[in-house]
Amino acid sequence: MSSTGQRLTPLEMLAKLVSFDTVSSKSNLPLIEFVEEYLQGWNVPYLRVPNEAGDKAALYATVGPQDRGGIVLSGHTDVVPVTGQAWTSDPFTLRVENGRAYGRGAVDMKAFDALALAMVPEFLAANLKTPIHIMLSYDEETTCLGVIDTIRRLGHDLPLPKAAIVGEPTMLEVVDAHKSVVTFTTTVHGFEAHSSKPYLGASAVMTAADMIAELNRIGDEMMERGDTSGRFDPPYTTVHVGVISGGTARNIISKSCSFHWEFRGLPSLDPQEIPSRLDRFVQETAVKRLNRFGEFGRIETKLEVAVPGLAPEPGSAAEVLALRLAGKNHTQTVPFGTEAGHYQAAGIPTVVCGPGSIDQAHQPDEYITLDQLEAGVAFMRRLAATCAGS
């Protein structure tokens, strides 16, 4: 171990991480460079995995043996914007007051990142037999794709981990399942004409309305199908259209109309079912109606974001470990998406478990309580003891 390593408390580390403005639209490289310098001080090997543009990067560090897979502590470095929010202090300067630490990303989820990094000296001193891997990603708040390039290397040029703990804020409850989040933009291309002579054109708006009505029917069916596990709120797959835009004037048959839609699927849902059903409706009904007076129009749907759900794996290595570390005897679900499904899809047992409450995330004056930060320290110390003894 280097004698020059910088020791920071979790709160001090959190203050450093919060000081970097890592809103998803910006680079996270200054934060990554700080973490790299910190790890170098402790002689902890790490791997930087940049994005294609080179303006962002993930980081994967290993404390302990390098020749085997261990336990991944996974957190993202990006945060949501502060623009338009009524903060009472600088969102990128940690403010500690009345048992709370305020700042953008304080709970979602730089606190977990700070805990993992601040504990590096203790992890080293524990003489781990099972390594602890620290994974820091980017773009979680927008696409959840910033973790993908690193995960693809696990089990190839990097050892396959035994388990992953994604540290999103769950009040240190152990979460073994959440829904998928899949979003699309559909654009209907019609043909303009005077509304008094509809046979001279093709209405993009009216065709889009037909498609939205079909999504409503699919959503109603998903609601009736329900959730047999009884663990999710709401207890069914949801289908939602959030934005629609199209047309020029009341008396012009619309040339274009687009709508932005999503579904949030139960883990048991085939992710292809809903888009396939809409595509079938398009081919069998919508396009024929659009072009009933001539070959005027077309319809295209583009996948934007696909965050896989996390399916429960009772008795998995991740579940057993996290329940023991958190002192819990049962698992829970959460209504939001995470990067956990990507780890699970790669064959790595995964749970979500981190300090703080999601209720404080994305808000002005976002905060984590100091009690939750201390509980996170205890969680990490129990992990170190477990990995030292295994």
Q: Which fold has domain 181-307?
A: Alpha-Beta Plaits (3.30.70)
Q: pLDDT for 242-264, tens place per residue?
A: 999 999 999 999 999 999 999 99
95-97 and 100-102 as β-strands: parallel, antiparallel, unpaired?
antiparallel
Q: Which residues contact 255 (CB under 8 A, 6 or more apart)?
A: 189, 190, 191, 192, 204, 248
Distance CA 106, CA 93 (A): 10
Question: Which sequence spans correspond to the domains of the chain?
Answer: 10-178+310-389, 181-307
Q: Could you report the per-residue pLDDT of 322-365, keeping only the tens digit for each? A: 999 999 999 999 999 999 999 999 999 999 999 999 999 999 99
Q: What is the mean pLDDT of the chain?
A: 97
Half-sphere exposure (CA, 13 Å, Cβ side) for 8? 22
| Chain CA centroid to CA 36, Å | 23
pLDDT reported for residue 5: 86
Tens of pLDDT, residues 48-59: 999 999 999 999
Cis peptide before 109 (omega within 30 of 0): yes
Mean pLDDT confidence for 88-105: 98
In this structure, whether the domain defined by 10-178+310-389 belongs to CATH 3.30.1330.80 is answered with: no
Q: Looking at residues 184-203, what average pLDDT do you find?
A: 97
